[in-house]
A and B are shown apart, each in its own frame.
Chain A
Amino acid sequence: MAVEKTYAEINAKIKSGQAVVLTAEEVVSLVAEKGVTQAAKEVDVVTTGTFGPMCSSGAFLNFGHPKPRMRMSKVLLNNVPAYAGIAAVDAYIGATEPTLDDPLNKKFPGEFRYGGGHVIEDLVAGKPVKLKAQSYGTDCYPLKELETEITLQDINEAFLFNPRNAYQNYNCAVNLSDRTKYTYMGMLKPKLANAHYSTSGQLSPLLKDPHFLTIGIGTRIFLGGGEGYVAWYGTQHFPSMLNASGVELHPSGGTLSVIGDLKQMNQRYIRGCSFIGYGCSLAVGIGIPIPVLNEEVMYWVSRSDKELYAPIVDYSDHYPNRTGENLGFVSYADLKSGEITVNGKKVKTAPLSSYPMAVEIATELKERIKAGKFELTQPVQQLPSAKDNIVPKSLNVKE
Chain B
Amino acid sequence: MSPKKIILRFSAETSEKPIIYHLVKDYNLMVNIIKARINPAREGTMVLELTGDRYESGIKYLEEQNIKVQKLAEHVNHNRQNCTSCGVCTDACPTGALFLERPAMEVQFNSDKCIVCQICVKVCPVKAMEVCF
Residues of A near any B CB (own CB < 8 A): 51-53, 111, 186-187, 189, 194, 196, 271-276, 281, 283, 336-338, 348-357, 359
Q: Is B88 an interface residue (CB 8 A)?
A: yes
Shortest CB-to-CB span from B79 to chain A, Å, is 13
The residue in chain B whose Cβ has the minimal distance to the Cβ of A349 is B91
Identity of the chain B residue whose Cβ is nearest the Cβ of A280 in the assembled complex: B125
Q: How far is it, in angstroms, between the C-alpha of A357 and the C-alpha of B82 when the chains are bound?
A: 12
Complex Cα–Cα for A52 and B122 (A)? 18
A192 vs B89: C-alpha distance when bound (angstroms): 17
- Across-interface contacts of A274 in B (CB, < 8 A): 125
Q: Which of B84, B91, B102, B123 contacts A354 (CB 8 A)?
A: B84
Partner of B87, one of A187, A337, A350, A359: A350
Contact yes or no, B85 A354, CB < 8 A: yes
CA distance A359 to B92 in the complex (A): 24
Chain B: interface residue total (CB-CB under 8 A): 19
Query: Are B102's CB and A52's CB within 8 A?
Result: no
Chain B contacts with A in 76-95, Cβ cutoff 8 A: 84-92
Contact A351 B105 (CB under 8 A): yes
Shortest distance between the CB of B127 and any CB in chain A (Å): 8
CA distance A352 to B100 in the complex (A): 12
B82-121, CB under 8 A of A: which get 1 and which 0?
Answer: 0011111111100000001011111000000000000000
Per the bound structure, the CA–CA distance linking A385 and B96 in Å amounts to 42
Q: Are A53 and B125 in contact (CB under 8 A)?
A: yes
**Least Cβ distance of A28 to chain B in Å?**
12
Closest to B122 in A: A276
Question: Which chain A residues lie closer than 8 Å to B12 at the CB level?
Answer: none
Enumerate chain A residues within 8 angstroms of B89, measured Cβ to Cβ: 350
**Is B86's CB under 8 angstroms from A352's CB?**
yes
Interface of A is mostly: strand
Q: Which residues of A sit under 8 angstroms from B125, Cβ to Cβ? A: 53, 273-275, 281, 283
Would B88 and A186 count as touching, CB distance under 8 A?
yes
> Which residue of the partner chain A has the closest CB to B101?
A356
Q: Give bound CA distance, A89 to B33, whole Å.
A: 46
Pairwise interchain contact A336-B102, C-beta atoms closer than 8 A:
yes
Q: CB of B131 within 8 A of chain A?
A: no
Query: Which residues from chain B contact A283 at a C-beta distance below 8 Å?
Result: 84, 86, 125-126
**Least CB separation from A350: chain B residue:** B91
Contact in complex: B126, A356 (CB < 8 Å): no
Question: B88 to A357, Cβ gap below 8 A?
Answer: no
**Partner among B91, B92, B105, B123 whose Cβ is within 8 Å of the Cβ of A355:** B105
A357 to B125, CA, bound (A): 15
The answer on a CB contact under 8 Å between B106 and A350 is: no
A337 to B84, CA, bound (A): 19
Check if A338 sits within 8 Å of B126, measured CB to CB.
Answer: no
User: Which residues on A sit within 8 Å (CB–CB) of B86?
Assistant: 52, 283, 351-354
Separation of A240 and B84 alpha carbons in the complex (Å): 31
Chain B neighbourhood of A51, CB < 8 A: 84
With the chains together, A338 CA to B84 CA distance in Å?
18
Given contacts A187-B92, A336-B105, A338-B102, contact A354 B122 (CB under 8 A): no
Q: Are B87 and A354 in contact (CB under 8 A)?
A: yes
| CB-CB nearest in chain B for A113 | B127
Name B92's closest neighbour in chain A (CB-CB). Answer: A187
Given contacts A283-B125, A359-B104, 17 further A-B contacts (CB under 8 A): A52-B86, A186-B88, A186-B92, A186-B123, A187-B88, A194-B92, A272-B126, A338-B102, A350-B87, A350-B89, A350-B100, A351-B86, A351-B87, A351-B105, A352-B87, A354-B86, A354-B105
Q: How far is the CA of A348 from the CA of B85 in the complex (A)?
A: 17
Residue among B91, B104, B105, B123 with most chain A CB within 10 A: B91
Roughly how many angstroms separate A337 CA and B102 CA in the complex, as a whole number? 8
| Distance of A105 Cα from B106 Cα, bound (Å) | 31
Nearest Cβ on chain A to B52's Cβ, whole angstroms = 32
